[in-house]
A and B are shown apart, each in its own frame.
Chain A
């Protein structure tokens, strides 16, 4: 039984609201759902136009991207195995961990075609999961930014405090990311002349000016226990530690490049350059690879044919689809709004 739930006043209120509700709805195109609407119909003309348009945009863009990518000169040299002396070939980890071994490694690279300045020097690591959840989170952005937040290391475990004189001191910069800072160094000589690798302005300006504090100095960093990587100059504020800043923009994928520096002179074709590598960074323990990359850049970035090829392929496919649909319309035309295709006409015994 469902009678009106409320008595008197509630009922009176409802009565009132009923009256209000029962006012005749006002006409407006909106409330009557009669607003003028553009109803896209996929007519043959539209379909072919759309596909052709895609082709017309994609193929030129693809070609441009492809040629830009082709114009990039890139020299990639993987040195992780090459820089292990023959005597340590079977025991690379021991070699890299031993403080007494000579880590300097001199390699020759040939430049195939002319590289115009600026030439970007990258180091490339492979099988290094900078995107591992434990790793990505192991940093303290507050500590990096302001001096007062030095003790803000809660998110940095297990690289948070060190005990110095029986006192727990926070590590600045704390966390696994900073701790594992890459510490191979490169020197390049061309025709026995030192090629200058400019290591300033390799990090984002925004990071340098805002994100990393100019009053935050490294403290207790790599002080004791297991050393993860590079040490930092405690006299320079974090905002000037550009290698650290670059490293702390963690990579998205296990194979990644990071900017090492820029060469501001051209390298000619057939130049034989000599690279002196201080091979310090331990990737041998987990089978990571290390490479040195020299690359010029265009509007598309470094050398990557994917974008260009993908654009050309998609453009061509659209062209084919346009042709295909054109054929379909010619071979099996269906007049727009043809009632013979209606379900009740196809099946005359159907609904009445």
Chain B
């Protein structure tokens, strides 16, 4: 599953990069520009025939949603299928999918035809899915077979099953039937109960969901409530404010004259701000609050999961009306600020986009687990060798005793008593078969050599570890009340081995809470750094946040004299532009503004871009309050004076123009075009001929950039009547055009977006999150490289880099800005030569084997030349997936800091992959926005920040938290602990099972290779399930090698994870040697002690059971780092539990081992033997441990000693 997804991502990436592309800028929610790859869709279409178009990459479509286009230009463009090859690349990018070549001549067979208000006819030819949903996977009847079927997809269970099945064969019945099935049944039952419970909860929520009610237009022409599950495609539904949308519906009309509906899409994409949806003007008039006169047919694309695209057309009154994404409201959204809406259901139930999107993210596997599987391979080899040895021994023994087998009292292959079977052979199948059976039955006996229970133990331990991470108060974001979230339970230990962090900037390093900081008005800089109380309390609007204002600017605005001075007008226009030229929706709290109790009304600005919200709020602070916006007009409150501005037209932000403009008719009939946009796109269309204003603004823009502020340039122009008319006709034509609408609109915009008068510029600050510089410094000390990947401008990125201490003055900055592949390569090679970066010589093939020594050397190099690499997205286009990639890799890994600016979402994934594919190092990606999803999914560990940007990143992440600074504790403390704990857990489990199996093996060598076990079958089964499991889990969850204070104080201790100190192949082999010794001791000492005695098999078995349980428990106890009460209980308790079990087993008269333990307990020899076994077995390990701690202490060991000393001195 993961593979498929990654492969798709790669194909996309290579498709994108393989074609000559033209990076295009699109508007972002953050308001800054990021290069995006418009060809993404095409790559996808070419690959998947559009069947899965929605599954592609969320970020590009997410981005596109912000254009929130009113116009269905996609379809218009697509209506020229034969020309699209000659088209501009960009227009091809809007290509939908193979199935929807032509928006107007949709093939009946492919499209869904929905007859408005005629569900019967709609469902006549083809029954569409009803609106009943089912998220549960089982019913009462199918639960057992289906659940078992799913469970047995796991290899571990199949192994269990195979062993149990083998054991059912008569010649192999090593264990009794029940005993052999016990582990499998146990695991199956536990999992089935868990699955059943989860499914029951899903059933319950489904039922609740399906029985909700909604108003549906009945045949008699009035709206009646109907249960959700009865709603069908074609039904016309009416939704009132704050109600949830039951299915995917096409808007027909709303309570608003112009057909606007505000919806909240929180359930769908997590974004809390309001979005606008529109009913087509054609249908709005035919709809009233009580009736719907619309009839017609909607032809739409097949259900798909892309929530940002919708293509359809509607046949209404003989016209074909194109419909697009802005005309559809999806299931799960909530209607806000609109009294009602009426729409027709086009997709219901399982076919709604929300339901189609419910697939879970593919699971990741931790590095430790991958290594563990490699060692499991070794254990399988051991198992095979032991079973072969037994089989070989059987062969030799059988051949040697061939003649005696008939009468040998302990073999007796034939019935020799005069009974019904006289002379028949009893369970003897000839030597070759006997050898095979001996091999198979030893597999059964030695089955726990493959530590299947380890997988269950690890899951338990990870759940426990996750509990502690979630409960950690230091990772709780009190400002927004968010706890840490573990969304993936498989990779906890990877947190302890991270070497590269790829961080998004906006919202991750910064707060993504935009604050209006500075304004350059008419070439003069104003800073609102000092909060000044409002001079006059004329403000009747209360904003959610108070904005400090600049006194000078305020005075300028309120200057009574000389109202027509150029500067004064510019300042006025500046704020009008801020107020009007945006898509922000003001939400007035509670009652209408007319109700002026205390003259203050709360107002909340909803918008898709935090920047725009910040600008509107700032304007409000200066007295220009936006308080009403419809599609036709804007009402601004200017210090109490209401100005109604008529909106003649709006050119939305698009990626080519990189600006937005709005044409406004003022109450005095003057018409102005107000424009705001990125500096690069604005400065070229200004009328100002490098005058003082131009120079002043330019200087300020540079200053703002250097300070890390995000800049926008504002300009305006008075339109003459002729210009207005020329534009209006072009605009009208363009907005009703069927083909090439986008181009025509752009052309219309170009008529007015020229010779603009520069008003000024704004500087918005996106403040660094708390503790970011410290965290980065700390992570760097821990040996983690932090790379920043941002869509921001280079200057902004560098200034943020400086302010968060990523970049320091002593660093050599290598800046790669290039426009061609050759140029990029030259720059890289030159930089490498200048700073003496050796080519690592690691190609794709052998790049994975980096030794510890290598790492050390690299770090040495770093020390001599601290370098910082700054590279932009354009250059990356020429480097990633090209030959120059390895040059970039060499250079980037030699640098201490890498900052990539203006990168597209997919490039972020590409950079992560650059490291991931060439080294064995662990990567972590952290981000908050939809544009980080690809990198979060690509990295070994993905961390999502629950920020302002919705939940897309969180949904894709493995861990989610509120602030960047939590990373410090997450990695240095929890990551370290998780890694140490799990690494030890794995080794210990290998040891625990292997020592038991080896012991059984030695005994089998003494029983004529007949796979006898001296231990009772129940003890064999319970050994890993009950006798030794509890302390393993408890220690795995709670043991703590170092306190968090020490770990945070000495970040370098994190290096233990980098050096793989807790788990590596050397430790594995050492453990195995120790295991061999211990198993020999535990086997031989009782044998030698009781060599000349009347000891019976059950007594010796009982002794072995206890001895080995005590041995492995004391072994564990010896390695515990910090004893807390619960560990004492678990460790020593498990020995008592074992005794308890033995007492119970030995009290059943029908078992041959009856009363054994009571006899043994009376004998001093028994106790002295157990003591001897424990001490002799553990002595070498203990001595080695002491010696290595004296001679070669690890960092952790020294830190532990430091901790102990300071504790002694009482200053801890």
Closest residue of chain B to A58, judged by CB?
Answer: B1175
Are B1087 and A253 in contact, with the CB atoms below 8 A?
A: yes
With A225-B416, A225-B417, A351-B1052: A129-B1159 Cβ-Cβ less than 8 Å: no
Are B1123 and A40 in contact, with the CB atoms below 8 A?
A: yes
Are B205 and A132 in contact, with the CB atoms below 8 A?
A: no
A184 within 8 A of B: no
Closest residue of chain B to A32, judged by CB?
Answer: B473
Are A134 and B1010 in contact, with the CB atoms below 8 A?
A: yes
Closest residue of chain A to B471, judged by CB?
Answer: A31
Bound complex: CA A133 to CA B873 (Å): 72
Bound complex: CA A255 to CA B473 (Å): 64
> Which stretch (B786-794, B820-828, B1165-1173) binds chain A?
B1165-1173
**Residues in B whose Cβ lies below 8 Å from that of A285:** 404, 407-408
**Residues in A whose Cβ lies below 8 Å from that of B1207:** 39
**Residues in A whose Cβ lies below 8 Å from that of B133:** 7
Are B209 and A8 in contact, with the CB atoms below 8 A?
A: yes
Bound complex: CA A226 to CA B1056 (Å): 70
Nearest Cβ on chain B to A274's Cβ, whole angstroms: 24
Are A1 and B1124 in contact, with the CB atoms below 8 A?
A: no
Bound complex: CA A116 to CA B408 (Å): 39
Nearest Cβ on chain A to B934's Cβ, whole angstroms: 11
Are B209 and A7 in contact, with the CB atoms below 8 A?
A: yes
Are A339 and B1198 in contact, with the CB atoms below 8 A?
A: yes
**Residues in B whose Cβ lies below 8 Å from that of A337:** 1198-1199, 1201-1202, 1204-1205
Query: Of the candidates B135, B1012, B1059, which one forms a contact with A132 in the assembled complex, judged by CB atoms under 8 Å apart?
Result: B1012
Are A1 and B357 in contact, with the CB atoms below 8 A?
A: yes
B1164 within 8 A of A: yes
Are B1200 and A2 in contact, with the CB atoms below 8 A?
A: no
A180 within 8 A of B: yes
Interface residues of A in 157-182 (CB under 8 A from B): 157-163, 168, 171, 176, 179-180
Interface string of B1148-1192 (1 = CB under 8 A from A): 011110110011000111001100100110010011011101110
**Residues in B whose Cβ lies below 8 Å from that of A228:** 409
Query: Of the candidates A136, A180, A329, which one forms a contact with B1190 in the assembled complex, judged by CB atoms under 8 Å apart?
Result: A329
Closest residue of chain B to A202, judged by CB?
Answer: B1094
Closest residue of chain A to B973, judged by CB?
Answer: A33
B140 within 8 A of A: no
Nearest Cβ on chain A to B667's Cβ, whole angstroms: 44
Nearest Cβ on chain A to B1107's Cβ, whole angstroms: 14
Classify chain A: how many residues form its interface, as a range. Answer: 35 or more
Bound complex: CA A180 to CA B407 (Å): 10
B470 within 8 A of A: yes
**Residues in B whose Cβ lies below 8 Å from that of A161:** 417, 419-421
**Residues in A whose Cβ lies below 8 Å from that of B1154:** 206-207, 210-211
B660 within 8 A of A: no
Interface string of A298-338 (1 = CB under 8 A from B): 01111110110011001001100100010011001010111
Interface string of B462-479 (1 = CB under 8 A from A): 000000101111001010
Are B1094 and A351 in contact, with the CB atoms below 8 A?
A: no
Are A158 and B412 in contact, with the CB atoms below 8 A?
A: yes
> Which stretch (A84-92, A105-113, A186-194, A340-348) binds chain B?
A340-348
With A3-B307, A286-B401: A306-B1089 Cβ-Cβ less than 8 Å: yes
**Residues in B whose Cβ lies below 8 Å from that of A50:** 1182
Bound complex: CA A6 to CA B352 (Å): 11
**Residues in B whose Cβ lies below 8 Å from that of A11:** 266-267, 332
Query: Of the candidates B332, B417, B856, B1175, which one forms a contact with A347 in the assembled complex, judged by CB atoms under 8 Å apart?
Result: B856
Are B267 and A4 in contact, with the CB atoms below 8 A?
A: yes
Bound complex: CA A329 to CA B1089 (Å): 37
Nearest Cβ on chain A to B807's Cβ, whole angstroms: 15
Classify chain B: how many residues form its interface, as a range. Answer: 35 or more
B61 within 8 A of A: yes
**Residues in A whose Cβ lies below 8 Å from that of B783:** 351
Query: Of the candidates A6, A9, A37, A163, which one forms a contact with B419 in the assembled complex, judged by CB atoms under 8 Å apart?
Result: A163
> Which stretch (B14-22, B81-89, B760-768, B950-958) binds chain A?
B950-958
Interface string of B351-389 (1 = CB under 8 A from A): 010110111110000000000000000000000000000
Nearest Cβ on chain B to A52's Cβ, whole angstroms: 13
Are A65 and B1168 in contact, with the CB atoms below 8 A?
A: yes
> Which stretch (B121-129, B234-242, B1027-1035, B1095-1103) binds chain A?
B1095-1103
Are B267 and A8 in contact, with the CB atoms below 8 A?
A: yes
Query: Of the candidates B202, B418, B485, which one forms a contact with A162 in the assembled complex, judged by CB atoms under 8 Å apart?
Result: B418
Are B361 and A176 in contact, with the CB atoms below 8 A?
A: no
Are A226 and B58 in contact, with the CB atoms below 8 A?
A: no
B948 within 8 A of A: no
Interface residues of B in 500-547 (CB under 8 A from A): none
Closest residue of chain A to B357, judged by CB?
Answer: A3
Are B305 and A1 in contact, with the CB atoms below 8 A?
A: yes
**Residues in B whose Cβ lies below 8 Å from that of A272:** none
Bound complex: CA A176 to CA B1092 (Å): 24
**Residues in B whose Cβ lies below 8 Å from that of A157:** 415, 421, 426-427
B781 within 8 A of A: yes
**Residues in B whose Cβ lies below 8 Å from that of A258:** 1094
**Residues in A whose Cβ lies below 8 Å from that of B307:** 1, 3
Are A3 and B1172 in contact, with the CB atoms below 8 A?
A: no
Bound complex: CA A341 to CA B483 (Å): 39
Are B1169 and A257 in contact, with the CB atoms below 8 A?
A: no
**Residues in B whose Cβ lies below 8 Å from that of A314:** 1172, 1175-1176, 1179
**Residues in B whose Cβ lies below 8 Å from that of A47:** 1186
Are B205 and A344 in contact, with the CB atoms below 8 A?
A: no
Bound complex: CA A210 to CA B1158 (Å): 14
Closest residue of chain B to A142, judged by CB?
Answer: B1150
B36 within 8 A of A: no
Are B1155 and A171 in contact, with the CB atoms below 8 A?
A: no
Bound complex: CA A304 to CA B1085 (Å): 12
A122 within 8 A of B: yes
Closest residue of chain A to B58, judged by CB?
Answer: A1
A276 within 8 A of B: no
Interface residues of B in 755-806 (CB under 8 A from A): 780-783
Are A206 and B1155 in contact, with the CB atoms below 8 A?
A: yes
With A134-B412, A157-B415: A25-B1100 Cβ-Cβ less than 8 Å: no
Bound complex: CA A259 to CA B1074 (Å): 38
Interface residues of B in 396-436 (CB under 8 A from A): 401, 404, 407-422, 426-427
B117 within 8 A of A: no
B1079 within 8 A of A: no
Are B414 and A8 in contact, with the CB atoms below 8 A?
A: no
Are B409 and A5 in contact, with the CB atoms below 8 A?
A: no
> Which stretch (A234-242, A244-252, A261-269) binds chain B?
A244-252
With A204-B1159, A211-B1149, A336-B1204: A4-B1172 Cβ-Cβ less than 8 Å: no
Are B1094 and A257 in contact, with the CB atoms below 8 A?
A: yes
Query: Of the candidates B267, B856, B1200, which one forms a contact with A7 in the assembled complex, judged by CB atoms under 8 Å apart?
Result: B267
Nearest Cβ on chain B to A34's Cβ, whole angstroms: 8
Give the interface centre of A27, A32, A122, A303 by most chain B CB atoms within 10 Å.
A32
**Residues in A whose Cβ lies below 8 Å from that of B1159:** 204, 206
**Residues in B whose Cβ lies below 8 Å from that of A317:** 1179
Are B1204 and A33 in contact, with the CB atoms below 8 A?
A: no
With A10-B205, A224-B417, A304-B1092: A310-B269 Cβ-Cβ less than 8 Å: no
Bound complex: CA A8 to CA B135 (Å): 13
Nearest Cβ on chain A to B975's Cβ, whole angstroms: 14
B119 within 8 A of A: no
**Residues in B whose Cβ lies below 8 Å from that of A303:** 1092
22 contacts between A and B (CB under 8 A): A1-B54, A1-B55, A2-B357, A11-B267, A11-B332, A22-B481, A24-B478, A37-B1124, A38-B1124, A40-B1123, A42-B1185, A42-B1186, A131-B1014, A163-B422, A168-B420, A224-B418, A249-B1097, A254-B1008, A304-B1093, A341-B1198, A343-B1194, A351-B1052
**Apart from A37-B1040, A179-B409, what 19 extra A-B contacts exist at CB < 8 Å?**
A2-B357, A3-B357, A22-B483, A38-B1122, A41-B1204, A58-B1175, A157-B426, A161-B420, A171-B417, A207-B1155, A225-B419, A246-B1094, A249-B1098, A256-B1094, A285-B404, A329-B1190, A332-B1191, A351-B783, A352-B863
